[in-house]
Chain A
Amino acid sequence: MPITPESENQTAAPPAERLAYSVQEAADMLGINYFTMYRLIQRQKLKTCRVLRGKLLVPRTELLQLLQTDLR
């Protein structure tokens, strides 16, 4: 069945609108590998929060702060 624009809109919100990302998504956004990402978290260069099952999430604000972008 072809995907209509309507059904596409029903999928998850685009990344730019999300409040937090998984470590992998954040690594992809920063253009670094997973290990480097966990190293930043371990050194508390990036603050994270844990969701129900213990998975780490990186808040969008933390990523922006790290990048020192003009979006802040």
Chain B
Amino acid sequence: MNYYERPTPLQEQAYTEARQHFAEHLKQFKANCDAFHNIECNLPTTANDTFRAAIQSSGHIIQTDDGTQWQHAVDLTKITSVCHRRTEAGLEFAVVECLPLKSREMKDVLNSGHDAREVLQTFAHDQRKVFKLWKDDVTAQVNEYLGEKYPHQDMTIVTESFEIKLARAISERPAQTQKQSHGVRI
């Protein structure tokens, strides 16, 4: 596939329509990527703050669904935070998610360990996998949408442009996103 190939007017039209149809997806994807990149950039500072909170044994208590009690250290997002607790093996750190569902609040340990920085790095690594899952699903949905709207038309270039756009949002740091992109307009 030549990504520098010029799209046909029909493909341009399909792209515009798909972009409108998936506007909320793209908006949320971009916002979450930006928030994630900020977490990644601040990871060393967050790890230090977490360690400091653990040493001081400060923070309110959060009991996760498995019954474990943690002390809150630093918020990562609205629903995820880094927590700590003392164990026989020493300090333990965890990323805890408090997810308010309509019927209850789900409190879950996403990952844990004895090194705050490693715990945060694992969290960041896992988030990248989630973004990839999201990207693949949006691409599949765009493919389905275009297949139904433009049957018997080759819309590969349109689907791929969405995929590339989402992949770039995952990989690019905020400072890099300002660079000019070349080739097919996406």
Contacts and interface: CB of A to CB of B under 8 A. Distances in A.
Looking at B126, B137, B139, B147, the one whose CB has the most chain A CB atoms below 10 A away is: B137
Contact of B101 (A24, A34, A67): A67
Interface string A9-35: 000000000000011100000111111
B136 interface: yes
Nearest to A39: B130
A45 B97 CA distance: 13
A15 B131 CA distance: 27
Interface residues of A, number: 28
Contacts, number: 69
B28 A35 contact: yes
Interface string A37-72: 011111101000011111110000000001111000
Interface of A: 22-24, 30-36, 38-43, 45, 50-56, 66-69
A24 B32 contact: no
Given A23-B137, A35-B32, A35-B130, A53 B143 contact: yes
Contact of A22 (B129, B141, B143): B141
Contacts of B106: 66
A42 B129 CA distance: 8
Nearest to A29: B102
B110 A43 contact: yes
A34 B110 contact: no
Contacts of B28: 33-35
Contacts of B10: none
A31 B140 contact: no
Contacts of B97: 39
A54 B129 CA distance: 17
B162 to A, nearest CB: 13
Nearest to A69: B103
A34 B134 contact: yes
Contacts of B99: 32, 36, 40
Nearest to A48: B137
B104 interface: yes
B185 interface: no
B178 to A, nearest CB: 23
Contacts of A40: 99
